[in-house]
Structure 1
C-alpha cells in the first residue's frame, strides 16, 4: 500500500485563527470519514472508512486537461477550513417530500509543476461521501477534458451488483446505449464488463458495508460517466462515453467536457452504510442543483393509463385513446399517454380534440416525441422537431396551446457532453412552456428531478416493454425487478411502466399478481405509467381497484424494512398519516421474510397478497411490530396502515 503524506485539515474554531487538525474529514455523526493525501509520487488519493474500517481503499483523484496535467506531479497548495453544509428542499415526487441534507465540506487545492491549480471539494454526510473537481485557473482560458484518474478501489473479497453498458449504436435502430441491460448479481469485484463498462448506480458490498456509486449535478457542461469495463484488482475507474455518443448538428458534437472560465465536474457520490441507509438516502438529489423556476401547480405527479404497453402501435388512434382516457378517469388517475405516430395516426387537430375531451374528464394528455436527428435509424414520428431552441419553442407552444400537459421524448444517443446538453435544453424549454417531461431510451437522470421539477420520470431501465417481446426477458423479471430498488431506482425516478394482472400477448407471464401490485409502491416514478389495459383491470377484485384508485401520487417518507438485492425487497412509504408497506419475492421459491415494523407497532394494516393461483389475489391483515410473512415464489404483497 502507498505510504501517504497527510494533508493537514483545518476545522473552523471560535479562536481568531483556525487550528490545524491532522485528521480525516468526518461526517456529522463521526461514523464516516475520508482521508485525502498527496502521495510521495505526487498523485492525489483518498480513502474512506466507516467506524474505523476501510470501505473504499486508497483511490486516485485527478484530471488531465489539454495543456494541464492535474493528475500527477502534484503538491498541496492549501486545505480550507471545514464548513458545515445545511440544505433543506422539497421534491414534488421522490422518496421524501421534505429533505434536510447535512454534511461537512472541505476543499483541497493542489498545484502541478507548471503552477496550475485544481480544487477538489469533499462532502461527508451521515450516509455517504461526495467530491467534485473545480478548475478555475485563469491561465487556462479554455479548459478541455482529456482524461480522468478518478477511481474507487475495493477489497478483493468485495462483491458487486452491476449493469453493463451496451456498445453505442448497436441494437434495434442503432438506439443503444440506453441503460437497458440486466444486472450481474453478487459478482466478485474485478469481474470485467461483458460490454463497454458498467452504469451508475453501481452497488457493492464490502464486509458489512454497502456502497452505491453514482454521480449527480449534470448541467450540460460535462459528459456523463460510467465505470470502465476493466477493474483489475477491484479498482474501478471512471470511464467516458464512446465516440458515437454525441448529438449532431445543430446541437454540436462535443463528446467530452470543456468550458471557458471555470470547469466544474458533477459530484461523484458514494452512498455508504447498511442496505437500509442506502435505500433511505437522498444523496442523488441532495447534491443536485436547486430547482429552476416552475409553476408548482403544474408539477403534478400522478398515475397514467397507456395503451402501447400491451396493444402496441395499432392502438394509437382516436377512439382507443378516448377509451384509455375514460379508463384513467374511472381509476381516478391523472394522465393518459398517447405514444408514437400520433401525429400521423391521429393528427394535430384531432389530438387537440382528444386533449379537450381529456380535460373534460380531468385527465391530462401526454404526447410522445422522437428526440432523434440522424444519430439512429428509428423512424417513428414526430421526429426532428426538437433539435433547436426555435423548433422546441414553436412545438411546445403549439401543443401547450392544444391542452397537452407533457411530453415523452424517446431514443437519445448516449452520454456525450453535447447530448447531455440536449437533455438540459429540452428540460429548460419544456419548463418555459409549462410542460412535464418523461425521457425514454435515455440516460440516468442524475438528480435532474430536483433541478427540473417538470421532469417527472425517465426510463433508463430494461422495463416492462422488453417482457412483451421475448420470453427470456419475461423470465428474468422477478430477479431483475428485485434489483431495481437498490440500484436504478435508488435516487432517480424510473419509468419501468409496471403492473399487468392479465395476459401479455404471445408471452407467458411468470410473476404473480401480488408481485405486479407491489411494483406500484416499490417503484418510484413522478408519473407511474401502468401497463394494464381496461380489460385486464376489469378482472381485478374491487378491493384491488380501490387500492389503486386511492394510492398516493407522491410520498412524504420512506423506511427500509427488508431486502436482498436481486432476491427480495420490502419497503414502507408514507403519505399523510398512512403507511404503505410493499414487498416482492424475486426467487423461484416461497420465502419467509422477517419484517421489522416496530414503527407501526399497535397498528393493523389491510393486506393484499397472492391467492392460491398465480392470477389470484387474497385479502388479510398485517400487524405492526416484528412480523414474519410468507411471500410466494415470484409473488408479493401490499399493506395499508391508516
Structure 2
C-alpha cells in the first residue's frame, strides 16, 4: 500500500504543478493515450517509474538504475535534461513471425541522468499502444571501461496479481551439464512473490495478470556486449528484479580462456530494451514488440532465406537411425509431403560421413528438398558426446566449416548445447549468425537461449528451441501427461514474440510412451506454433495412418504468415488462433482442460469465406472433416486434449 500511495502522491504533485519540480514526474503516453508512464526521481534520489493503462495501475512504483565498476547510477540521481516527447515509427518486413509486414508507432522520450560524480546515463522510454519499452545507454567518454556490476530495474505488481512463469534451471545441471536451456514447465496462475522453484530465477517472457490487464515482460534488441537477463528468483511483495546469468554461463575458448559473464564495452554500452506488452489477451497475443525493438536486418542474400517445413527422423527414432538409408527415406517422405527440408541429426559425421552426405544432398536436390545438418556448439562447457563437436569455436573454424557445407550444398545448420546467457556466450551466438550469413546458411539454435528478436536482425535465423519441446514427451510419461497444458501455456508466453522449435505433431505411437493428446490436437500445433522451419516429429509410418485430406492440409500449409488474429483462449487451458497467408485464413484450436470445451467462434473477420473443418473423429486417433460453408459463426466442442484446424478460402 505504501507504493500505491507514493505513486498517487507523485502523480498528484505533477497534476497540481507543485513547486517541487525536482519530484514532478515526466509523463509519456501512448499514441492512443491509453498507456501512461511516469518517470521521476524519488525522495531518496533514486530513479523510478510507474505505468498506468486505461486509468488502472499496471506497474507500481518500480526502480530504475545501472551500476558499473566505475560509475553508479543507482543513487544520488538527478535528471539533468530530457528531450521533448517525439513520435517514432518503423515499418519492416519479417520472414519468420506471425506477421509479414509490421508498422510500429510509439512516443519516445530520452532522459540525461547524472549521478553524484556528474557521470552521465542515457535513459530512453518508448510507449506504444501495446506496451512500454525502455533501455539504458552509457556513452560518457570519461567512463573508460564500462563493465556491468548490477541493474536495479524492477517491475512492481500489486499483491493480488497472478503470474505464469517458467523457472530458470540451475547452470551445469541436467543431462551432460547442458542447463540452462529454457526447458522447464511453466508454473501457472501462481501468486506474485512466489520464489522460483529451482532458485535460479524466472525466464523471459514472463506473463502476469493485474486487474483487467495482462502484462508480458521480456527483453529485445540484445547485442554482443550485453548478457541475457532473467527475473530474480525472489520477488518479495510482488517486486520482480532483473537478474544476471549464473557464473558458469560463459564461453570457454579452446585454450581454456574463460569469457566474460556480464556486460562490458570499451565503447558505448547499450542495454537491451526491457519490454512490457500490456492490455487484454488479444493485444498481448497480437503484439510484435519483441521484434519492433530489435535491430534492423543485416544483409543476407534473399535467396538464402527460405522458411519451410522439414522431415526429421530423430524425434521418434533417436540415435540409431541417423544412417544413410534412413535419411534417404526421410528425404522421400519430405518430397511426398511437399515439404522443404530434411534435418540430419547428431553424429552424422561418424555414421554417414561427408562423402555420403554429399550423396544425400545431391539426391535431395533432385526432389527439391534442402538438407540441414546438426552441429554441437560446445567446447569444454558441457559433457555432451555428440559430434561434430568443437568445430565452430573460432571465426576461422566457422569460416572453413560453413564454406565446406555451402560447397556440398547444405542449406543450414541446427546448432545445439550452448552454455547459457553470459555476455561471452551471447557474443558467440552473434558471431555464429554473422558468419553463417556470409555463406547464406540458415540457422536453428537448440539447447539455447531465448532469441529476443534476433530473427528480425538475423533473418536467416529460422527458429530456436528454448522450450521443453516434443522430445521430452518421448523421454518420460510425466512430460507426456502434462504436454497439453504445457503447449497451451507456451503459446501465451514463449511463442508470442519469437519462433519456437517445439518440433510438433505425432499421429502414431511413441516407443514406451502412452500418448495422451488426440491426433486433432497434434494437427492443430502445426498452425498454432510459429517456427521459421517447422520440424515435424511424425515419421512416415505415422503419417501413413492419416487420411488423405490431413496429408493435403499439411502439404498445402503455408511457410510464412501475413497476419494473426487471436480468437479465444486462456494460458494453460485452451487457445484458438487465426493466421492468414495471402487470401486464405487458417484457424486452429486446442483444449488442454480436463473437461469438454465448447467454443463459439466468430468467423466474421474472414469475409464470408467458405470454411472446411478438420477435427477429431469417434476415437482419439481418428479425424473427421466437415464443410461448414460461409458461416459467420460456428460452435465446436472439443474433448480434453483434442483440437481442430479450419481453412477459410
Range class of TM-score, shorter chain: over 0.9
1:242-281 equivalences in 2 (<5 Å): 242-250=246-254, 252-281=258-287
The Cα shift of 1:496 comes to 0.2
The Cα shift of 1:353 comes to 1.1
Q: Which runs of 5+ in 1 are unaligned?
A: 10-20
2:596–2:640: 8 Å Cα contact kept in structure 1? yes
2:25–2:39: 8 Å Cα contact kept in structure 1? no
- Corresponding residue of 2:18: none
Q: 1:116 aligns with which of 116, 119, 124?
A: 119
- Corresponding residue of 2:228: 224
- Corresponding residue of 2:520: 514
1:175 and 1:473 map into 2 onto residues whose CA distance is 19
- Corresponding residue of 2:548: 542
- Corresponding residue of 1:347: 353
- Corresponding residue of 2:473: 467
Tell me whether 1:202 sits opposite 2:206 in the alignment.
Answer: yes
The Cα shift of 1:600 comes to 2.4
1:225–1:241: 8 Å Cα contact kept in structure 2? yes
Tell me whether 1:424 sits opposite 2:430 in the alignment.
Answer: yes
- Corresponding residue of 1:63: 66
1:219 and 1:150 map into 2 onto residues whose CA distance is 19
TM-score by length of 1: 0.97
| Range 334-343 or range 48-57, more displaced | 48-57
- Corresponding residue of 1:495: 501
The Cα shift of 1:594 comes to 2.7
1:601–1:624: 8 Å Cα contact kept in structure 2? no
- Corresponding residue of 2:240: 236
2:625 and 2:10 map into 1 onto residues whose CA distance is 63
Secondary structure at the aligned position of 2:479 is classed as helix
The Cα shift of 1:249 comes to 1.5
- Corresponding residue of 1:632: 639
1:229 and 1:505 map into 2 onto residues whose CA distance is 37
Tell me whether 1:323 sits opposite 2:326 in the alignment.
Answer: no
1:562–1:594: 8 Å Cα contact kept in structure 2? no
- Corresponding residue of 2:85: 82
- Corresponding residue of 2:21: none
Secondary structure at the aligned position of 1:199 is classed as strand
1:227–1:237: 8 Å Cα contact kept in structure 2? yes
- Corresponding residue of 2:19: none
- Corresponding residue of 1:135: 138
Tell me whether 1:486 sits opposite 2:489 in the alignment.
Answer: no
- Corresponding residue of 1:27: 30
The Cα shift of 1:494 comes to 0.3
The Cα shift of 1:240 comes to 0.6
The Cα shift of 1:391 comes to 0.1
TM-score by length of 2: 0.96
2:646 and 2:159 map into 1 onto residues whose CA distance is 41
C-alpha distance after superposition, 1:537-563 (max 9, x if no partner): 011000000000000001000000001
The Cα shift of 1:589 comes to 1.3
The Cα shift of 1:110 comes to 1.2
The Cα shift of 1:626 comes to 3.7
The Cα shift of 1:596 comes to 2.8
1:624 and 1:449 map into 2 onto residues whose CA distance is 37
Where in structure 1 do 4 or more consecutive aligned residues deviate above 6 Å? 6-9
1:279-318 equivalences in 2 (<5 Å): 279-318=285-324
The Cα shift of 1:311 comes to 0.5
1:349-364 equivalences in 2 (<5 Å): 349-364=355-370
| Range 47-56 or range 249-258, more displaced | 249-258
Secondary structure at the aligned position of 2:304 is classed as coil
**Aligned positions, number:** 631
1:41 and 1:243 map into 2 onto residues whose CA distance is 32
Q: Which runs of 5+ in 2 are unaligned?
A: 15-23
The Cα shift of 1:208 comes to 1.0
1:7 and 1:295 map into 2 onto residues whose CA distance is 55
2:191 and 2:600 map into 1 onto residues whose CA distance is 27
The Cα shift of 1:137 comes to 1.1
1:612-627 equivalences in 2 (<5 Å): 612-622=618-628, 624-627=631-634
The Cα shift of 1:7 comes to 13
1:77 and 1:471 map into 2 onto residues whose CA distance is 59
The Cα shift of 1:419 comes to 0.3
- Corresponding residue of 1:214: 218
The Cα shift of 1:24 comes to 1.4
Q: Are residues 6 and 568 of structure 1, via their aligned partners in 2, closer, same or farther at CA, if it must alter by over 3 Å?
A: closer
1:245–1:413: 8 Å Cα contact kept in structure 2? yes
- RMSD over aligned Cα, in angstroms? 1.4
Q: Are residues 112 and 551 of structure 1, via their aligned partners in 2, closer, same or farther at CA, if it must alter by over 3 Å?
A: same
1:28–1:104: 8 Å Cα contact kept in structure 2? yes
C-alpha distance after superposition, 1:296-346 (max 9, x if no partner): 111000000000001001110101000000000000000000000000000
- Corresponding residue of 1:400: 406
Secondary structure at the aligned position of 1:201 is classed as strand
1:386–1:392: 8 Å Cα contact kept in structure 2? yes
2:100 and 2:499 map into 1 onto residues whose CA distance is 14
